[in-house]
Amino acid sequence: MKQMVFCCALIVGAPAAAETYSVSLGGKTLGQLSYVGAGKKVTLSSTLDNTPLGVFNGTFVGTSTGSVTSSTFTGDSKSSRKQRVVEVKIAKGRAIETTITPVDELTELSDITLVPAGIMDPVRAMGQLFHAKGCPEAVQMYDGRRVVTMRSDAGTQTGDTLICAVSYKVTAGPGHLSPLGISSAKMALIYDVSEGQQVLQNLKISSGIFSVSLDRQ
């Protein structure tokens, strides 16, 4: 569940206000997700504190320093069941170093020699969705454990609303939510394109019985 939320993602200049989204499942609010950038540092964080029976409660803080193609990413996931810290360094779209604690969270794709070129870290990838101009370009995201490809259609616009359908697919490495191994999902991005700007208002991600919604606050 948390990983679906994280997958549901460079602000330059003065410190920017956080873009905050409520996270819900079946109309029930589970928590919130925030994206904020200041110069070369961008942070994606989420808190889930109202999941069914508290099973998926936890926090995630991902920080990316650098640029879209060259960055240092740190992801810290905490829950009642476990904690994982991932550090990934990317240079010119290639993974050059991956460290994961504890080591039993390593996967085959934690070996950087197996990671394809043209990747970006999860924070930068989500930024491509949040701050797209038109529907987002195709993205290859590497989180230290797997590679995910996100591809959008051309989108449909009605009035001031642009809707982009995005496929989400694990193209190398294990699926999410072991032992379920979720490896694909469908995403719908709904943008307000009024007044010459484009603002993400809603993101829906669905896979099997799960359907999570992020709504801009």
Q: Phi and psi dihedrals of 199, rounded to 5?
A: -130, 125
Q: Is the separation of the CB atoms in 174 and 106 below 8 Å?
A: no
Residue with tokens 């998926």: 56
Query: Where are the extended beta strands (E) located within 92-182?
Result: 94-101, 139-142, 147-152, 156-158, 161-172
- Read off the pTM: 0.88
pLDDT at 214 over 50: yes
- pLDDT greater than 50 at residue 120: yes
Q: Of the candidates 36, 90, 85, 47, which has an alpha carbon nearest to the alpha carbon of residue 66?
A: 90
- Specify the pLDDT at position 186: 97
What CA–CA distance (Å, rounded) separates 189 from 7?
12
- What pLDDT, in 10s, does the model give residues 135-164? 999 999 999 999 999 999 999 999 999 999
Cα separation, 31 vs 98, whole angstroms? 29
Tens of pLDDT, residues 6-59: 454 332 233 356 899 999 998 899 999 999 986 799 999 999 999 888 888 999
Q: How distant, in Å, are the alpha carbons of 22, 159, 193, 204 from that of 142?
A: 25, 35, 29, 21
